[in-house]
């Protein structure tokens, strides 16, 4: 089963998160979406932007503060940068929110389906038999990313997957389930589905960085 790109609008989905109804013998094991806060922090780096804008505001206000100017003078010194900071942070948060609302990851007993896109929605079918490795990266509060390394020659463009893709792996993009809740539980379900689908036993490891697998066993690295 090759990787499929089905460009259906999610408003007309026959089944939530899926471009078509599942065939006989296939069923949903897990379905979820990114958490807004975790996605904004990990994929859109909103905390770093907050620090950046805070430094700019302080830098603009510092001359007035050094001179001992009044409150109005300080406010006038940041009258341009403060609104820009609020607009920038609000825009990034809204982008994270819309991405979370329109992204659905569906694990069945045979494949992983990724429904992506805010304006133009597409679905990618990733057969479990083509998954060579899965790397788990822990975030805060039980959220985390699961990156899938695929076998075969099929490729999905990095820009088509973003932000559901491993950062900086542009030459050979690796689809990634971003900022999903209870990521450890999801990784267990993925291992079980992969084993049942392929008839092979998973090789679970726990390094900080997971090396590329040399076998067909699914390797799950937890960092």
Domain span including residue 46:
40-98
pLDDT tens, position by position, 20-63: 888 998 999 999 999 999 999 999 999 999 999 999 999 888 88
Q: Which of 81, 98, 115 is the last residue of a domain?
A: 98
In a domain, 21, yes or no: no
Domains identified in the chain, total number = 2
The closest of 85, 119, 113 to 99, measured between CA atoms, is: 119
Residues 133 and 197 in one domain: yes
From residue 156, how far is each of 18, 56, 129, 185 by CA, in Å? 18, 39, 17, 27
Edge-first strand order for the sheet with 176-180 is: 176-180, 144-150, 131-138, 219-222, 203-204
Domain endpoint, select from 53, 78, 98: 98
Q: For the whole model, what pTM was predicted?
A: 0.81
Please tell me the distance from the alpha carbon of residue 205 to that of residue 212, in angstroms, as a whole number. 12
Decide which of 98, 132, 147 is a domain's last residue: 98
Residue given tokens 């503060």 in the structure block:
65
pLDDT, greater one: 211 or 3:
3
CATH number at residue 176: 2.30.29
- How high is the pLDDT of residue 67? 76
Confidence of residue 213 (pLDDT cuts 50, 70, 90): very low
Phi, psi (rounded to 5 degrees) for 48: -65, -40
The average pLDDT across 196-200 equals 76
pLDDT at 210 over 70: no
Report yes or no on 216 lying in a domain. Answer: yes
Q: How far apart are CA 209 and CA 174, in angstroms?
A: 15
194 shares a domain with 134: yes
Q: Is the domain of 87 the same as that of 168?
A: no
């Amino acid at each position: 089963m090759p990787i499929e790109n089905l460009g259906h609008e999610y408003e007309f989905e026959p089944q939530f998160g899926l471009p078509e109804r599942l065939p006989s013998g296939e069923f949903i094991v897990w379905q979820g979406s990114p958490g807004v806060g975790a996605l904004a922090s990990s994929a859109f780096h909103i905390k770093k932007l907050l620090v950046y804008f805070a430094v700019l505001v302080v830098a603009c206000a510092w001359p007035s503060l050094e001179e001992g100017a009044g409150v109005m003078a300080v406010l006038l010194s940041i009258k341009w940068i403060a609104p820009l900071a609020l607009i920038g942070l609000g825009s990034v948060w809204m982008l994270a929110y819309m991405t979370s609302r329109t992204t659905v990851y569906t694990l069945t007993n045979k494949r992983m389906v990724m429904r992506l896109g805010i304006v133009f929605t597409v679905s990618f079918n990733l057969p479990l038999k083509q998954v060579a490795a899965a790397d788990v990266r822990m975030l805060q509060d039980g959220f985390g990313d699961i990156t899938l390394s695929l076998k075969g020659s099929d490729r999905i463009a990095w820009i088509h997957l973003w932000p559901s893709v491993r950062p900086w792996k542009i030459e050979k993009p690796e689809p990634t389930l971003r900022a999903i809740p209870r990521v450890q539980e999801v990784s267990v379900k993925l291992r079980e589905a992969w084993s049942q689908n392929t008839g092979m036993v998973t090789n679970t490891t726990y390094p900080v960085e997971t090396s590329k697998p040399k076998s067909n066993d699914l390797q799950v690295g937890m960092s």
